[in-house]
Structure 1
Amino acid sequence: MRVHLCVVGRLRTGPERELLDDYLRRFDRGGRSLSLGPVTVHEVEDRKGGGMAAEAALLQKVIPTGALICALDERGPVMSSPEFADRVAGWRDSGTSDLAFVIGGADGIDPSLREQAQSTLSFGKMVWPHMLVRVMLAEQLYRAASILAGSPYHRV
């Protein structure tokens, strides 16, 4: 199952980029034998200042046709890492070929795009910077692959 991070904004060089790249490399390496990955990051930028609606239109263009959409949204369910791993495995096992995680900009995801999502996910009641959410999601993808592979990375 191919994984896509469809995100608003460009992540520049720095510690967040290094962490993101590291976790995505780990996920690609570990996920391959589990039929997970590769991960592709699709960054969009609304240079005209059209707000959430314009961001949603740009995101729509990079979400692969037929992909299962999971929107990262503070209103979504909070899951444990094992629950997230089970969810990812369930999508894979049900024949999902493309999984698109959508991360909006500073104002979140436009309601029209959020309504199209088959699933939502929250990293808690706190609001996180959208650039940091990428790193957190990449780490959780790597952790999910590790859990599914039975590796000792995840400790209860």
Structure 2
Amino acid sequence: MRITLITVGKIKEKFYQDAISEYAKRLSRYCKLDVIQVTDEKTPDGASEALETQIKEKEGKRILENIKDGSFVIALAIDGAMLDSVELAGKIEKWGISGVSQLVFIIGGSLGLSKEVLSRADYKLSFSKMTFPHQLMRVILLEQIYRSYRIIQGEPYHK
């Protein structure tokens, strides 16, 4: 299976880059992984709701341009389904068995995702009602995808 992460903004901190590289290396046993970073828009302090919507739409357009036809899209959204690790593994396995060959996970920028991106999503996933920095969310997501593959393969993994 091919898994693509489409994310908004660049990773600046080396420790996040190192963690992402580590999970990408571990995942290479199980799937083909691509990470696509689209440019984020600068949000001025005190931006109006209209400006924030415009920013999300610009970032959303960049995200949508990177989704290939036929991809199964999972948007990380605070109002998405909350799953435990075994349930996520089951979803990934089910999607693969049902013929999905391309999973696309989307992590938005600091303002979240545009309505257009959310409406393109085939599934919305939430890791928590809490907000996380999008750089850290990449690491958490990759770790959970790795954990999912370990579970699917019946391999041991820390609980």
Give the alignment's TM-score, normalised by structure 2.
0.89
> Following TM superposition, by how much is the alpha carbon of 1:64 offset from its aligned partner in structure 2, in angstroms?
1.7
How does 1:54-133 map onto structure 2 within 5 Å? 54-133=58-137
Residue pair 2:9, 2:109 contacting (<8 A) in 1 also: yes
Q: Is the 2:41–2:59 Cα contact (8 Å) retained in structure 1?
A: no
Aligned residues: 149
Shift of 1:121: 0.6
Once residues 46 and 106 of structure 1 are traced to their aligned partners in structure 2, the CA distance between those partners, rounded to angstroms, is 9
Larger radius of gyration: 2
The residue that corresponds to 2:56 in the other structure is 52
The yes-or-no answer on 1:40 pairing with 2:53 is no
Q: TM-score w.r.t. structure 1 length?
A: 0.90
Q: Which amino acid aligns with 1:135?
A: V
Partner of 2:24: 24
Report Cα offsets for 1:13-38 as digits up to 9, x if no partner: 51111111101211112x1xxxxx21
1:12 CA displacement? 2.8
Structure 1 residues 123 and 47: alpha-carbon distance in aligned structure 2, compared to 1, 3 A threshold:
closer
CA RMSD across the alignment? 1.4
Please tell me whether the aligned partners of residues 147 and 154 of structure 1 are also in contact (alpha carbons under 8 angstroms).
Answer: no
The answer to whether the 8 A contact 2:40-2:109 is kept is: no
Deviation of 1:154 (Å): 4.0
Q: Per residue, is there more strand in 1 or in 2?
A: 2
Q: Which runs of 5+ in 2 are unaligned?
A: 44-53
C-alpha distance in structure 2 between counterparts of 1:78 and 1:24, whole Å: 24
User: Are the equivalent residues in 1 in contact too, given 2:82–2:128 (CA < 8 A)?
Assistant: yes
Alignment deviations for residues 102-152 of structure 1 (CA, whole Å, 9 cap, x no partner): 111000000121011010111111011111110000000100011011111
The letter of the residue matching 2:74 is C
Q: Contact 1:68–1:100 at 8 Å: present in 2 too?
A: yes
* Structure 1 spans left out of the alignment, 5+ residues: 32-36
**Counterpart residue number, 1:8:** 8
Instruction: Report the secondary structure of 1:75's partner residue.
Output: strand
- In the alignment, what sits opposite 2:46? none
Alpha-carbon contact 1:70-1:118 (below 8 Å) kept: yes
Structure 1 stretches of at least 4 aligned residues deviating more than 4 Å after TM superposition: 47-50
Secondary structure of 1:100's match? strand
Give 2:138's aligned residue: 134
